[in-house]
Amino acid sequence: MATDVALIGCSILAGAMIVAPTARSRAWLMLATLVVAPALLVAHVAGADQLAGVSGRAGLLAAAAAAAIVAALLLAWWFTRYPGAFPIAVVVTLPFRIPLSIGGATASLLLGLYLVVAGGAIAWLVPHLRAGPEDSVPDRRPGGLEWALAGVLVLYSVQALWTSDPDRAIENVLFFYVPFAIGFVLLSRFDWTSRLAARVLAVLTGLAVALTAIGFVEFATRQLLLNPKVIAANQVNDYFRVNSLFFDPNIFGRFLVIVIILLVAWICWERRQKAVAAGAVVVAFLFGGLLTTLSQSSYAALLAGLAMLAALRWSVRWTVAAVAVAAVLAAAGFALGTGAFEGGQDASRATSGRSALVAGGVNLFAERPVAGWGSGSFAREYRAAENVSVAKAASASHTIPVTVAAEQGVIGLAAYLALLFFAFSRCLRGVRSGRDPAIRAGIAAAFTALVVHTLIYAAFLEDPITWVLLAAATAFGTAAARPGNS
């Protein structure tokens, strides 16, 4: 119970930080979050398996903690001296997850991103803790998106009170929601410029090209670098899927889709022919890498993002018509070719087992429609209800609304839909009439693609890209120019 109360308290601190109206109040709340979250995490993993081997080596643990603190302080110094380095560092560390054993299970954690966010937080909050007059005046009222994010965060922690898998709920909050919320606050109030956005896109593109090149090498040699599960699947299947330095081909595909859409948005507004030609070559290269992932969810996400981009750049009416026709033809072809809509093994095989997960999630929701089974409980409750092994279950239904409905009921589903409404409102606000239309249209289209991907795969707020896109949309959608990143 003490852990549950501490988790809710930590979420309240992070949520209040998101909606705080002044820089000073945000700074104190951010500092409190940075203190409480690590303390709660240490208490959570104190008895975990991965600490058993080093329980007698306190010096090693202390050295690791000291190294992390020193790294965060060095990053803080760097970001103070070169503020524009912070968003670039965030982008560079977005894809890289390191597997760690947490509570008997393996979790892929964004350790590099955590250090960058910690360094950025220190660099930002130290000067704002000095109670200057300008820091005590409301600088921007929180909008619906900020309140929705804070509400979802706190609600998730509250609904962990009755979950059958409290470890997963705690880890989702501490490893994903809280650090990403800090990153959102920092990036959304950063002094973004068109030049800085261009640099970020250039770095992101270079990173995507490098990762795609690694994927091509994997495809040519038929040897993967990471994830034994994907390696084993490639050995028994007729096809070969590439994941580069990611642990999942679908997440690699999602990353490539986001970069492709941002590049296409830049191309749509770019007038220099040589630059357009160079961008087209890069897009073709990345698309080739996307094909090697064999990620159907990524293909669908790319089409959705490009459709949004076409609507924002040219005609909403013609885009909607084209999408409607394409959707009908695709659905008819899928149904006739696979018989997936008739159910049974054909449906499960055609959807890679996801139809069974969705059906199980719907059944779980029907049993507890109001408050659900508790945050993070889907995998455990699905295994119990369907009497299947761990290998045949998943941490989510691969359809975020179904997962939310099963775990959090109508209450959580309403919060999720409200978040989507305010998120799209923020991304689309003034795209045609505001400054930097290419950047803002690209962000809106990329967010659309990400949401579609979560409807077919998983990971919405657990993906830092979600928070980064919403933060960028907030920063570029702010009408009044800000003198600095406060």
Please check whether residue 90 lies inside any domain of the structure.
yes
SS3 222: coil
Q: Which segments within 41-151 are labelled E, that is strand?
A: 98-102, 105-109
Of 262 and 219, more confident: 262
- Tell me whether residue 321 is in a domain: no
| Average pLDDT of the residues in 137-148 | 85
Mean pLDDT confidence for 390-419: 82
Instruction: Kindly report which listed range (174-178, 286-290, 392-396) carries the lowest average pLDDT score.
Output: 392-396
On whether residue 73 sits in a domain, the answer given is: yes
Strand partners, 109: 98
Task: Kindly report the pTM of this predicted structure.
Answer: 0.88
pLDDT of residue 61: 67
Domain that holds residue 114: 1-51+58-143
Average confidence (pLDDT) over 239-243? 83
Count H helices and E strands in the chain, helices first. 20, 2
Q: Which pLDDT band, with edges at 50, 70 and 90, does 331 fall under?
A: low
Name the pLDDT band for 480 (thresholds 50, 70, 90).
Answer: very low
102 has pLDDT over 60:
no
Res 126 pLDDT > 50 = yes
Tens-place pLDDT, residues 453-479: 999 887 899 999 999 999 999 998 774
What is the predicted pLDDT for the residue at 446? 96
pLDDT at 36 over 60: yes
Q: Confirm whether 339 is domain-assigned.
A: no
Judge whether residue 65 has pLDDT over 90.
no
Predicted local distance difference test score (pLDDT) of residue 412: 94
Identify whether the C-beta of residue 169 lies closer than 8 Å to the C-beta of residue 374. yes
How does 157-179 read in b/e, with b if 16+ C-beta sit within 10 Å? bbbbbebebbbbbbbbbbbbbbb
Q: Mean pLDDT for the chain?
A: 84
Compute the half-sphere exposure of residue 400: CA atoms within 13 Å on the CB side of its CA: 19
> Quick check: 330 pLDDT over 90?
no
- Length of the chain counted residue by residue: 486
Task: Please indicate, yes or no, if residue 449 is contained in any of the structural domains.
Answer: no
**Residue 392 confidence (pLDDT):** 53
| pLDDT tens-digit map of 295-318 | 888 999 999 999 999 888 887 777
Would the pLDDT of 343 be above 70?
A: no
3-state secondary structure of 99: strand
| Element housing 60 (H / E) | helix 58-81
pLDDT higher than threshold 90 for residue 259 = yes
Q: Is residue 426 part of a domain?
A: no
3-state secondary structure of 108: strand
Which pLDDT value is given to residue 486?
A: 39
Report the candidate in 285, 278, 243, 239 with the shortest Cα–Cα distance to residue 260. 285
What is the arithmetic mean of pLDDT over 362-366?
89
> Alpha-carbon distance 290 to 282, whole Å?
12
Helix (H, G, I), strand (E, B) or coil at 411: helix
CB 191 within 8 A of CB 482: yes
Q: How far is CA 140 from the centre of its chain?
A: 25
The pLDDT of residue 482 is above 90: no
CB-based burial label for 455 (10 Å; 0-12, 13-18, 19+): middle
Q: Is residue 360 part of a domain?
A: no
By the 10 Å C-beta count (0-12 exposed, 13-18 middle, 19+ buried), 424 is classed as middle
CA angle 372, 376, 382 (to 5 degrees): 70
Domain count for the chain: 1
Query: Quick one: pLDDT at residue 333?
Result: 62
- Residue predicted with more confidence, 357 or 262: 262
pLDDT of residue 341: 47
* Residue 34 falls inside a structural domain: yes
At residue 47 the predicted structure's pLDDT band, cuts being 50, 70 and 90, is: low
pLDDT of residue 252: 92
* Average pLDDT of the segment spanning 376-381: 87
